[in-house]
Amino acid sequence: MKTSNNNSKVTSTVRFTDALKKFNSNWKHIMTKKSFVFLLALGICSGIFADTIKIVTTTTDMKSIAEFIGGNKVSVTSIATGYQNPHFVDPKPSYIISLTKANLFVTVGLDLETGWSPQLLSSSRNTKIQKGSAGYVDASEGVNLLQVPAAANRAEGDIHIYGNPHYWLDPINGKTIARNIANGLERVDPANKSFYEANLVAFNNKIDTKLKEWQGKMAGYKGSKIIAYHNEWVYFETRFGLQIVDFMEPKPGIPPTPSQLVKVIKEVTANKIKVIISSPYFTTSSSDVVAKQTGVKELTLATSVRAFDSVKDYFGLFDYNIDHLITVLK
């Protein structure tokens, strides 16, 4: 047996060297000038595509802004979908697959994702994107935070000790998010710094132009009183001059109670409130009751990019919300 084995090994080696020789002679033949140039171009192209910076974001809003800043130099995936409650994303192991290869991780921060993203990060075995590493971007850095509690007490419901984390719903904060993402990209890919900076300027300019348009549209509805389901609109409310009178939830994260519904019904009637705003991930059963009693309209707004198919990017988010709000506030 041994000898036959050795024999087959010898023959296979001979075959292999023969093939190699053939290949070499063919190769010389192929390597004409034209084909060399073609192959070189192919190599460079594939090199470019292979070197895209892989970004994983926790939410679709961060994904959209990262795409504006990174352009064709990045490929971005978001863990949460746009119609999902970002507090309660299930940390499926499948998300770890994309995290293991990521160059940059972008988080909304302020404990919004505390129930799921730390576990995914530590399971990713990717040292480049851990908190404190160059590839970790906390998009909230530098944001002027609202509703920072004076004391941390869970008797208040789901409060966030660092402040309200839904800050991306103010387009001015979009600029800070973009700056933080650009900083992150420049840390992991300094060669393309000028590219990212140029995209950042373009993004900021577009925010400026669009903000003028949005505020123009909302100008007539300044001070409009509304009811919201969950306390996640304070940045939007402040920027566009709305006034949220109360929430369907008696305390953040606590489902609506009968006594809260009675309170809301009284407030709607007293203040002639026209609309209750909610998000795709909350049921409308409780606001249906209020609507039936008072005739108030119900409106599900987009809390994130891709909440609805028509909300395609960060600008689309405000387009959708403002256009729909105006229709019901008229």
Partner 1 sequence: MNYITVSKYFVTIILLLVLVAMNNVCLSQVTADSTSKDSLLLKQIEEQMKTAPPPVAPQTRSSLSFNPDIGVIGDFRGSYISKGQRNFDLYLNETEVSLQAAVDPYARADFFLSFARNPETGEYGVEVEEGYLTTLSLPARLQLKVGKFRNAVGRINTVHPHALPFIDMPNAYVNYFGEEGLNDEGFSLSWLLPTKAFYQEIIFQTTSGYTESPAFARSEKNRLLYVSHLKNFFTINDDNTLELGLTGISGPNDSARVSNMAALDLTYKWKPVKLNTYHSLTWQSEFYFNHANLMDNFSVNSFGMYSFIQYQLAKRWFLTGRYDYGQKPFDKTLKENAFSLTAGWYATEFSKLEFETKTTDDNIDKRYYQAWLRWIFVIGAHGAHQY
User: How far is CA 94 from each of CA 97, 100, 180, 192, rounded to the nearest angstrom?
Assistant: 6, 11, 27, 31
Residues in the interface with partner 1 (CB under 8 A) total: 51
Output 143 or 268, the one with its CB closest to partner 1: 143
**83 binding partner 1? (CB under 8 A):** yes
Give alpha helix (H) positions in the chain: 2-30, 33-50, 60-70, 94-100, 117-123, 171-188, 193-218, 234-240, 258-271, 285-294, 314-329
Shortest Cβ 34–partner 1 spacing (Å): 36
Closest CA to 226 of 214, 213, 240: 240
**258 binding partner 1? (CB under 8 A):** no
Which of the residues 216 through 255 are near partner 1 (CB under 8 A)?
Answer: 216, 219, 222, 253-255
**306 binding partner 1? (CB under 8 A):** no
**58 binding partner 1? (CB under 8 A):** no
Output 18 or 213, the one with its CB closest to partner 1: 213
Q: Please, are residues 275 and 299 in contact by the beta-carbon 8 Å criterion?
A: yes
Q: By three-state DSSP, how is residue 88 classified? A: coil
Q: Per CB under 8 A, which region of 51-59, 62-70, 77-85, 189-197 contacts partner 1?
A: 77-85
CA distance 200 to 301: 27
CA distance 63 to 47: 24
Shortest Cβ 162–partner 1 spacing (Å): 5
**259 binding partner 1? (CB under 8 A):** no
Shortest Cβ 132–partner 1 spacing (Å): 7
CA distance 81 to 97: 17
Please provide residue 252's backbone torsions phi and psi, each rounded to the nearest 5 degrees.
-50, 125
User: With helix as H, strand as E and coil as C, how does 60-86 read?
Assistant: HHHHHHHHHHHHHHEEEEECCCCCCCC
Q: Per CB under 8 A, which region of 7-15, 117-125, 185-193, 314-322 contacts partner 1?
A: 117-125
**257 binding partner 1? (CB under 8 A):** no
**179 binding partner 1? (CB under 8 A):** yes
CA distance 41 to 162: 51
Amino acid at 278: S
Shortest Cβ 95–partner 1 spacing (Å): 9
Which of the residues 200 through 219 are near partner 1 (CB under 8 A)?
Answer: 204, 208, 211-212, 215-216, 219
- Decide the pairing of beta strands 74-78 and 136-138: unpaired
**Where along the sequence are the contacts to partner 1 (CB under 8 A)?**
81, 83-85, 88, 90-94, 96-97, 100, 109-110, 114-116, 118-119, 122-123, 125, 127, 130, 132, 141-142, 144, 154, 158, 162, 175-176, 179-180, 183, 204, 208, 211-212, 215-216, 219, 222, 253-255, 280-281, 283
